[in-house]
Structure 1
């Protein structure tokens, strides 16, 4: 006997925050233009690196918006979960873009070591301060929403990295103004590249976990097993699977062995309600599929899974 409770909503976590993403995109593109012009006028590699990083952020937010729109399309017979995985693929693209940008910045910074050109620090400082202010505004816009969606989280982390990058550019400009140490610009570029990589790696790791259908972070299968076994009438549980379709959409399935006398119409319905409440209350999982099996059927079951 199979049973399913809960449905996968067409509106994903990123889809609920499209307006925030659009606002951040507009701010980011405006600052990219200012910083690119400032880098060209000042000759600052760190400012150019920051502009490049912000351009990658703009691309990432654009991908997230497109993915949120695609993921909101309804399910079909061919795609029973709809297009919600599109958000995860977009987050994967964001992570790869971040890694690529950091490598390019790092390579160019190394090429400049020992031959740091003169830098117009007044233009450099103005553009960096403007970028920092814009990043703070974007972080405030995304605050809270980044905990619900991988894509919004990716955008949040990228903006946070931009803020740190802008602060590094500001520090380099001040050092050059006070000491004439032009190599500070190159050093700041290296720091920006090094700040990007760990954040990109964490995002990539989370995306891979979703694509490999790993159990959601913080969820222990053994604990779920114990909760199910505590339900009256349940004698065993096996073939437990819990994975994530996209951000905020965990899915659970299991074969539940019950006492033979429970499998009448009323008993089975009551048992299923208890199981769904158990999963929803303790593990925040609404989309659950249970296959109820009588204890007398246990010898026919293949135990190849958890």
Structure 2
């Protein structure tokens, strides 16, 4: 069987895109709530002299930016694949998530510096204004979180924005406590301490976004999916003698993909093997975007001169190793 005849693609179950209309409405509602509150909170933070309120406003600004980027990415990701962009612009979402992670970390750095400076030399803070604004912020964040919970959270952008606003909710609770402490005791450093809590939350959220988007950019296997385990399962299937050039990656959020070269024993039914493997990958691992090249182990072309053998059967087709080789017997990794 030729390689061209042996290509298998799992078509069923592809979900290339999101329910864009509904998601855009929920995200737009959250964005409107957040944007109005950012303006109000920034003005009050300046009047009250509260860095904690200003840090909350900065955090919410990054949330608003992430929602805007998510809305833009949603629109871009729905464009059909054309020209050199064979997957379309699905990774626009991952780009925006990466940019959002960077802005979170940069903002956290600036706020952390200001917080330490205010710990050393605390300015006067108007406690009642901090408490009142933080309480309103809690309500706004609860509403925004509810809106985002209705959207498609399998998207890295939507989930990232959701987690940010959830973190904001905890930050506002901390700010309210700090304002109450300032109001009752006059301990102005409580404001800077609350700011450092917000900074910690921002760093955590920013690192998470950079880590998750970075894995996708580096073509790493999705978290929770072990390529060695998948390779062993493929190699253990009936009539399969070897699996190599196995790659598992993520096209965009919620869209894992797999490709592999599978060798079948002489006389084996390549078409049946491909169908069985496609079904197994879909049922066990949710992998429906698969490309399997199936060849008979005894019909590979001769090995090119100077090539280094991988195994006795695969060397002719794949002179350069692209990862571990999986056999139907003892496994070599």
User: Structure 1-normalised TM-score?
Assistant: 0.92
Q: Which residue of 2 aligns with 1:103?
A: 109
Is the 8 Å Cα contact of residues 43 and 118 (structure 1) preserved in structure 2?
yes
In 1: Cα distance, 2:70 partner to 2:76 partner: 10
SS at match of 2:120: coil
RMSD: 1.9
Q: Which residue of 2 aligns with 1:282?
A: 284
Q: Which residue of 2 aligns with 1:305?
A: 322
Of 6-15 and 116-125, more deviation after overlay is shown by 6-15
Is the 8 Å Cα contact of residues 214 and 243 (structure 1) preserved in structure 2?
yes
Report whether the alignment pairs 1:92 with 2:98.
yes
Report whether the alignment pairs 1:76 with 2:93.
no
In 2: Cα distance, 1:149 partner to 1:273 partner: 30
The counterpart of 1:120, out of the listed 112, 126, 130, is 126
Is the 8 Å Cα contact of residues 13 and 148 (structure 1) preserved in structure 2?
no
In 2: Cα distance, 1:189 partner to 1:228 partner: 52
Q: Which residue of 2 aligns with 1:64?
A: 70
In 2: Cα distance, 1:229 partner to 1:223 partner: 10
In 1: Cα distance, 2:94 partner to 2:263 partner: 34
In 2: Cα distance, 1:130 partner to 1:77 partner: 49
What is the aligned length? 302
SS at match of 1:172: helix
The counterpart of 2:136, out of the listed 119, 124, 130, is 130
SS at match of 2:79: coil
SS at match of 1:113: helix
Deviation string 1:186-223 (CA, Å, 9 cap, x unpaired) is 22112211221122112211111100000111111122
In 2: Cα distance, 1:14 partner to 1:56 partner: 22
Task: Evaluate the alpha carbon distance shift between residue 16 and residue 212 of structure 1 in structure 2; reply closer, same or farther with a 3 A threshold.
Answer: farther
Q: Shift of residue 19 of structure 1?
A: 2.4
Is the 8 Å Cα contact of residues 101 and 209 (structure 2) preserved in structure 1?
yes
Q: Which residue of 2 aligns with 1:39?
A: 45
- Runs of 4+ aligned structure 1 residues displaced above 6 Å come to 13-16
> Which of the two has greater helix per residue?
1
Is the 8 Å Cα contact of residues 240 and 255 (structure 1) preserved in structure 2?
yes
Task: Evaluate the alpha carbon distance shift between residue 195 and residue 178 of structure 1 in structure 2; reply closer, same or farther with a 3 A threshold.
Answer: same
SS at match of 1:78: coil
Q: Which runs of 5+ in 1 are unaligned?
A: none
Is the 8 Å Cα contact of residues 27 and 151 (structure 2) preserved in structure 1?
no
Report whether the alignment pairs 1:3 with 2:8.
yes
Task: Evaluate the alpha carbon distance shift between residue 13 and residue 198 of structure 1 in structure 2; reply closer, same or farther with a 3 A threshold.
Answer: farther
Q: Shift of residue 126 of structure 1?
A: 1.2
